[in-house]
Amino acid sequence: GQSLEQPSEVTAVEGAIVQINCTYQTSGFYGLSWYQQHDGGAPTFLSYNALDGLEETGRFSSFLSRSDSYGYLLLQELQMKDSASYFCAVRGGATNKLIFGTGTLLAVQP
């Protein structure tokens, strides 16, 4: 089966840097993705890592270590609008089954 674990909540202040971790277990691995969801809204895609290392997209970066079954999302220069839930996701096995983590609620304070 597949499972992903994330911290339930993280709090940071505007302008700071925050890291949201994700550990996963899956029978097959086709990369780790990250999604953002504002309260009551639809999740939106942020980033994807298929290979080990760091991928940077503006203020957001995502890291993957396949040997450790671990990844993280790094948010820099935090803004109030970054307050949201963040989910990691994997597509496992030989199918298109797409599984999401438990989600991390990020609260950005002034």
Q: Which residues bind to other proteins, rule: CB under 8 A?
A: 30-31, 33, 35, 40-45, 48, 50, 87, 89-91, 95-103, 105
Residue 35 vs 108, nearer CB to other proteins: 35
Q: Is the dihedral of CA 91, 4, 21, 109 positive or negative?
A: positive
The CB-of-95 to other proteins minimum distance in angstroms stands at 7
DSSP state of 41: S
From residue 50, give the alpha-carbon distance in Å to each of 34, 63, 79: 12, 10, 28
Distance CA 26, CA 93 (A): 7
The CB-of-25 to other proteins minimum distance in angstroms stands at 14
Residue 15 vs 41, nearer CB to other proteins: 41
The CB-of-27 to other proteins minimum distance in angstroms stands at 14
